[in-house]
Chains A and B, each alone.
Chain A
Amino acid sequence: MTDLILQVKNLNKAFGGVVATDHLDFDVRQGEIHAVIGPNGAGKTTFVAQIAGMLTPDSGEIIFDGQEISGLSAPERSHAGLARSFQITSVFPNFTAIENVALSIQAHDGHSFRFWTTAFRDAKLIQPARNILEQVGLADRALSLAGNLAHGEQRQLEIAMALATKPKLLLLDEPTAGMGAEESEIMRQFLLGLKGEYSIILIEHDMDTVFNLSDRITVLVYGRSIATGAPDEIRSNAQVKAAYLGEDEAEINA
């Protein structure tokens, strides 16, 4: 199927006796937001790490844009068109907001063995960085140190850095993590703006965000996918209710 940007087949990962990813099948269609939810310890983080190239799966395939990528390093995946944001904010605190984004652009603008021209005065980096900051609504904070930005702004910058790599697929690891209601709403609106333009895997705890934004939702429990479907299907799925939404604890073991 050519309309799949990402296809994960029979993925397995265990740490000693603990199975973190268990025969997992997963795919993302072009332009859709596919959310992954699951209770704590469901294996979301392990899943993200395998897609992003920080963990090697024990077995299984990860086919991205028609290419098997499970043997590629994180930077190689970035160049293949896979970008991620981090659950724990990972901006460069001593760089200004615009330098953070410029660094992302630089990573995709040939090699960096350039010793003479000042990077901050390099229009090839700064112009596009400015555009991206505008797109995420941080243009007026361009010259602030990233470490001095508010938490919500750092989360936006986090995504701006991912967007700067011109990705074919965005892997967003809890974009609303640690946000208050107001900040979450801003982030939701922002993600809504990305919808349709980018293919997105959304790992998220905030149910409002997940059910409002997603085209499809996959529910992970103990490393297995117990259901995949449109938000309405997931909402009415009995197994999901039992396992995740906490309606009837007894059914988890069923």
Chain B
Amino acid sequence: MLSRLKIWVLLLSFLFLAVLPIVAEWIGEEFYISLVARMMVFAIAAMSLDLILGYGGMVSFGHAMFFGLGCYSVGILAFYELTNGWLQLFVCIFGTALIGAFVGFISLRTSGIYFIMVTFALAQMFYFLGISLEAYGGDDGLPIDTRSEFFSFFDLSEEWNMYYLILGTLTACTLFGWKCVNSRFGMVLRGSQANLVRMEAIGFSTLKYRLSAFIISGVMCGLAGFLLGNLTEFLTPEYMHWFRSGEIMIMVIVGGMGTLFGPLYGAFAYLIFEEVMAGYTEYWQFYFGPLLIILVLFAKKGLWGLLPGKENLGDD
């Protein structure tokens, strides 16, 4: 259960996102639409990571891999003029689920620092695979000429439609994520994070649940990549670089690990900071570092945890 304040903050945030394009158009600053759309894409990615990082204790340092794979599923199919959105979506979901199962199956044999290294290594493998695929632009990347085509009346080349597709996906993922972490499945996940031995002793075979969570999280991050590819109309292996994985993880930490909603705000905070500071200096990360340290030292639950209100049952 969330405190009343937090519910209001959430509702107002989504309301703000819903009316943003209207306001942006009204004041004649349309570029805000794609700017905020991009932030929402990263918010989905950050939340997907929090699902396994904050609730399952799985420190995946290769989550950008799914981000990139989602993007490739749009880009490569579009390259062959297969622009049917449903086909691309199917390939994206099925592909990231399959690769998530493979990566999860290997990495979940390990724990702690080894888990971090295995996810990191496998993600870098896909990164270098992307670089070596000269047909799809190698490390230069590849423009995506046509956005996914879903319905004739919902043309994604319209910036508004793109925006609302992303907002819709974000809303759906948030709702599912919240339901999920409080469901029976979520309880198993959180229990496994706290004490695996105890979980096994009371009768849970935890591996299948943790693996499923890893796959779900990967697919969700893949969806974010799917949207990013469409939004930027560009595909690049850079999306899979470990630096991206680190960025997504920082968003989770800034927003608040294990709070689910926090990472949404973490993503926005990080990207807004980047947007604003990059206007002044190329070395904006120099200023971000100390802020991150202060936040980690004084706000263990990140920005979301700074909101007052006692956290109750079903929400630690």
Please say whether chains A and B are actual partners in one complex: yes
**Chain A residues close to B by CB (< 8 Å):** 52, 54, 73-76, 78-79, 83-84, 86, 90-96, 99, 102-104, 106-108, 112-120, 122, 125, 143, 161-162, 164-165
Could you tell me if B183 and A116 are in contact, using CB atoms closer than 8 angstroms? yes
Interface-facing stretch out of B97-105, B201-209, B227-235: B201-209
Chain B residues positioned under 8 Å from A108 (CB to CB): 203
Against A, the Cβ 8 Å flags (1 = close, 0 = not) of B174-197 are 001001101111111011001101
Interface membership of B316, Cβ < 8 A: yes
Interchain CB contact under 8 A, A161 and B209: no
B197 touches A165 (CB 8 A): no
A119 and B197 contacting across the interface, CB-CB below 8 Å: no
Chain B 198-216: CB-based contact to A (< 8 A → 1; otherwise 0): 1111111110010010000
Q: Within 8 Å CB of B316, what residues of A?
A: 94-95
List which B97-139 residues lie within 8 A (CB) of chain A.
none
Chain A residues with CB below 8 A from B309, complex form: none
Residues of chain B within 8 A (CB-CB) of A75 are: 200-201, 203-206
Q: Is the CB of B179 within 8 A of A112?
A: no
A86, A113, A143: the one contacting B201 at CB < 8 Å is A86
Chain A CB within 8 A of B313 CB: yes
Question: Is A119 touching B314 in the complex (CB atoms < 8 A)?
Answer: yes
Given known pairs A90-B195, A92-B194, A120-B314, the reply for A106 and B187 (CB within 8 Å) is: yes
Compute how far the CA of A84 lies from the CA of B199 in the bound complex, rounded to whole angstroms. 12
Number of A-B contacts (CB under 8 A): 104
Centre residue among B179, B184, B186, B206 by max chain A CB count within 10 A: B184
For B, the interface residue count at a CB cutoff of 8 angstroms equals 29
Docked pose: A119 CA to B188 CA in angstroms: 10
Interface residue from A54, A91, A94, A119 paired with B183 (Cβ < 8 Å): A119
Using A84-B201, A86-B198, A107-B202 as known contacts, say yes or no to A112 and B313 having CB atoms under 8 A apart.
no
Q: B53-75, CB under 8 A of A: which get 1 and which 0?
A: 00000000000000000000000
B53 → A minimal CB distance (Å): 16
A–B complex contacts, Cβ < 8 Å, 24 sampled:
A74-B197, A75-B205, A79-B203, A90-B197, A90-B198, A90-B201, A92-B194, A92-B195, A94-B194, A95-B190, A96-B313, A102-B187, A113-B209, A114-B184, A115-B183, A116-B183, A119-B186, A119-B187, A119-B314, A122-B184, A161-B202, A164-B202, A165-B202, A165-B203
